[in-house]
Amino acid sequence: MARCTQVIDATPQDVFAVLSDPATYPDWVVGAKAMRDADDGFPAVGTRLHHRVGFGPLSVNDHTEVVDVAAPYRLELRAKARPLGTARVAMLVSPRGPRSSWVTMIEDPADPLTRLVFNPLTHLAVRGRNRECLRRLKRLAEARATGAGAGR
């Protein structure tokens, strides 16, 4: 399991507004190259984000599906990034103060094949990637909270 936590100077509602906006995913999800589409009603359970993922010149079209949602405190996703596998990603948002939140990102393998390749080395790489995701999410949510991201 890769688990990372970040303090964000924004309310859970501001953080969840970023998580709920499909257009922001390439801005905060490391490895997401572009959004291709999103189902109407995202982030309702069963809706999908259709994206392109990859690194450098290599990319593949794939999708991420909402497994569970309890706005503004929880968004659970099943993310596909073939050929690398499938992950279950939980974004947990807790109030920390009047204008501050704890955000925890938990990523686990979501299928037997991915579990086989999720070893201590890949675990460290995923944790590092997720720390960067949370750092980017922090920037976006704090900009939204101060009005700097209101035009998005």
Query: Which structure tokens are listed for 34?
Result: 């572009």
Please give the residue that has the higher pLDDT: either 110 or 48: 48
Residue 121 pLDDT grade (very low, low, confident, very high; cuts 50, 70, 90)? low
Residues 6+ apart with CB under 8 A from 135: 6
| Average pLDDT value for residue range 61-78 | 96
2-146 folds as Alpha-D-Glucose-1,6-Bisphosphate; Chain A, domain 4 (3.30.530)
The pLDDT value recorded for residue 17 is 98
| Average pLDDT value for residue range 112-136 | 81
DSSP per residue, 19-76: HT-GGGHHHHSTTEEEEEEE-TTTTSTT-EEEEEEEETTEEEEEEEEEEEEETTTEEE
Q: What's the mean pLDDT when you consider all of the chain?
A: 89
Residue 151 pLDDT grade (very low, low, confident, very high; cuts 50, 70, 90)? very low
Given a cut of 70, whether residue 133 has pLDDT beyond it is yes
Query: Which of 6-15, 78-87, 103-112 shows the lowest per-residue confidence on average (mean pLDDT)?
Result: 78-87
Q: Where are the domains of the chain?
A: 2-146
Cβ-contact 103, 134 below 8 angstroms = yes
